[in-house]
Chains A and B, each alone.
Chain A
């Protein structure tokens, strides 16, 4: 029982990891509120949700899904690399993760600006003229993908900081909590998208 209290690096890492897991749960509930709103309005306006979803480009949506799933793999692999004392490989994998994240954000940017061109954004007169279910769908689309994109940015910042610290040798085989936690955060970003994708793009 006294082993419990040896201030070992591993003990500290497990403690830090538990903290991050609980934080991820709070993020799930943050998005959960939006999912609840989606569920209610989808139930009330299923036909109009269906029509509105046709406006979204499911090819881009699928591509973005592929980007995020792949980036989840690369960041998980970077953890394996660090654990196997291959910091160079870890750096490459973190960089690849960031690359896919950037591609995701670029896609998002094009998607949104394309919609803006058609005057589809919250508060626009075009939206006001749509059936209510469609208006609500787009409101949910923007709020959910917007909040998600914010989290992608936060994840990118975390991973960039991690990248620098791996390069400097601060994060290494014996001390990699920052990488593990940044990877967990990144997986959360992926998880949320896995639910967003079918609910927004595939209800056609």
Chain B
């Protein structure tokens, strides 16, 4: 435990105010401080998230009634494409590693920064470049891409819209992701504090480690696949064109070989965050530390081999469908283990229902709905009924938004005092949570029902019998949006005018709570020496 009252201490300067080689704005734009880079990513992601959310709301307005409501089919196709590209490639894949991984990984392992700070800044600028290119795809010459974020051939090779902008944007964003992954793997291997063996490392770094391996090993495959589609469009190379001997299903294989592991890039850090929150707000060690650490690695590994469950209706062989369905069921097991461990962590604990825990508990609920419906999709017979319907849309929004999204909100509320040195208004945060929770379920649950009944996804028109559910869903969307705005406004206000936060407002025992809020530029006055397992509560070291 760091003694911050050593006599003769120089007064500390928070990382927010630190002036290094560059001052003022340049000190942010050219920073190599992992905490500032984390904040830069956070601000960019908040902006792009609201862009993506508004695009989603526009889709919901269109879907409130059958037939054309506010837009025609081409516009709708462009909307769901850019909504997907932004939400997947610009928000949910980068967000948790780039924001919380950057900010907290070094601190949690007792390091002063990541292994390659300048590479870290370069990753950020690649991210911005990719995001801007994605936005530009909407406005350049031939019209917004209308292929869906999945860029399926043959249409993506033939569509006359700005597909190449989007492909290049995704490629650059992928490169940013790869560099971040490399940085984190090396950081964890080389920069852990003295005494911090692998099994003394907290569980969020374990999650980031597993995630980083996926970033590094899966992303290059989508990189080359996107290049192949560009080659198809520009050079007519033929790999995916049946007229030239190619196979469109091969594109699907290559695309999902990345894009399935990508969802584990989204969910593993989210699980890591709630794994930090449960012990703190139960004031009890994590139940089953080893199981949680190993299950993160297991999810990353097995998750690499289930991609074919996105292709059950594409004409793949029965043998491969059987194998993929089987492996899909297997990969659910480590996730279930985690849920069991989280609940057991809370059992018998001294529960403090603050906003972080509220979001973390609702994460379990929403993630499990998403998870169970994943089994419906993963099972060959039922898949045929629900593939490409709004059942799928509801499933992945429950997992990604209900799961990863709510875990992100949990993380923001957990680490906000540390990052900004201020406390937010708990009551408003809880109210925003309630609005978010109600709005979210109203928005997505009806989509399960009409999906089973036959409502297709990516359609701007539908049969009249689906309208009541669509209306509820649209209303839910607006409720959710207002909850998100309330949540954000509460936090933004607190960042400027909130009560100053103590070093350890939640009585946590991991290293970030042993340093001031906000942290100083180099995190630790002295690199700590680790002598015990993590999550030791009740030893008086978290007052």
A interface list, Cβ under 8 A from B:
1-2, 4-5, 11, 14-16, 18-19, 22-23, 25-34, 36-37, 40-41, 45, 122-123, 128, 132-133, 135-136, 139-140, 142-143, 147
Contacts and interface: CB of A to CB of B under 8 A. Distances in A.
B224 A31 contact: yes
A123 B235 contact: yes
B250 interface: yes
A40 B216 contact: no
A201 B493 CA distance: 66
Given A37-B250, A132-B245, A143-B237, A15 B216 contact: no
B194 A29 contact: no
B182 interface: yes
A33 B254 contact: yes
Among B192, B231, B238, B247: residue with most chain A CB under 10 A: B238
B228 to A, nearest CB: 7
Nearest to A128: B244
Given A2-B529, A37-B228, A136-B245, A22 B185 contact: yes
Given A2-B194, A33-B254, 12 more contacts: A1-B195, A4-B194, A26-B216, A26-B217, A29-B218, A33-B223, A33-B257, A36-B253, A37-B228, A37-B250, A132-B244, A136-B238
A143 B190 contact: no
Contacts of A37: 228, 239, 250, 254
A57 B191 CA distance: 50
9 contacts: A18-B185, A22-B181, A29-B220, A32-B221, A33-B220, A33-B221, A34-B224, A41-B245, A143-B228
B221 A29 contact: yes
Nearest to A40: B250
Nearest to B193: A5
A36 to B, nearest CB: 7
A128 B237 CA distance: 10
A27 B178 CA distance: 11
Nearest to A123: B236
B344 to A, nearest CB: 32
Interface residues of B, number: 43
Contacts of A147: 224, 227
Contacts of A11: 190
Contacts of A15: 115, 186, 190-191
Among B115, B185, B194, B224: residue with most chain A CB under 10 A: B224
A26 B190 contact: no
A25 B216 contact: yes
A122 B221 contact: no
Among A2, A36, A37: residue with most chain B CB under 10 A: A37
A194 B216 CA distance: 23
Nearest to B196: A1
A122 to B, nearest CB: 4
Contacts of A2: 194, 529
A44 B406 CA distance: 47
Nearest to A122: B235
B468 interface: no
B4 to A, nearest CB: 21
Interface of B is mostly: helix
**Minimum-distance CB pairs A-B, first 9:** A132-B245, A33-B224, A29-B220, A122-B235, A30-B220, A123-B236, A139-B237, A1-B194, A26-B220
Contacts of A123: 235-237
A132 B227 CA distance: 21
Interface of B: 115-116, 119, 178, 181-183, 185-186, 189-195, 216-221, 223-225, 227-228, 231, 235-239, 244-247, 250, 253-254, 257, 527, 529
A18 B216 CA distance: 13
A120 B220 CA distance: 29
A32 B228 CA distance: 13
Contacts of B219: 26
Contacts of B186: 15, 18-19, 22
A40 B194 contact: no
A132 B181 CA distance: 39
A57 B119 CA distance: 42
Given A5-B527, A37-B239, A30 B223 contact: yes
Contacts of B218: 29
A166 B366 CA distance: 58
A27 B245 contact: no
Contact of B238 (A25, A33, A122): A122
A85 B343 CA distance: 60
A14 B178 contact: no
Contacts of B191: 15
Contacts of A132: 238, 244-245
A130 to B, nearest CB: 9
A16 B118 CA distance: 12
Contacts of A31: 224
Contacts of B189: 18
B247 A22 contact: no
A25 B216 CA distance: 8
Contacts of A122: 231, 235-238
B512 to A, nearest CB: 19
Contacts of B246: 136
Nearest to A36: B254
Nearest to B213: A22
A135 B231 contact: no
Contacts of A22: 181-182, 185-186, 216
Contacts of B183: 19
B239 A135 contact: no
Nearest to A32: B221
B115 A30 contact: no
A75 B453 CA distance: 65
A32 B220 contact: yes
A97 to B, nearest CB: 25
B448 to A, nearest CB: 35
Contact of A29 (B119, B193, B217): B217
A124 to B, nearest CB: 9
A45 B238 CA distance: 14
Contacts of A32: 220-221, 224
A19 B194 contact: no
Nearest to B183: A19
Contacts of A18: 185-186, 189-190
A2 to B, nearest CB: 5
Contacts of B115: 15, 19
A186 B161 CA distance: 39
A151 to B, nearest CB: 13
Nearest to A139: B237
B11 to A, nearest CB: 26
A143 B220 contact: no
Nearest to A20: B182
Contacts of A135: 238, 244-245
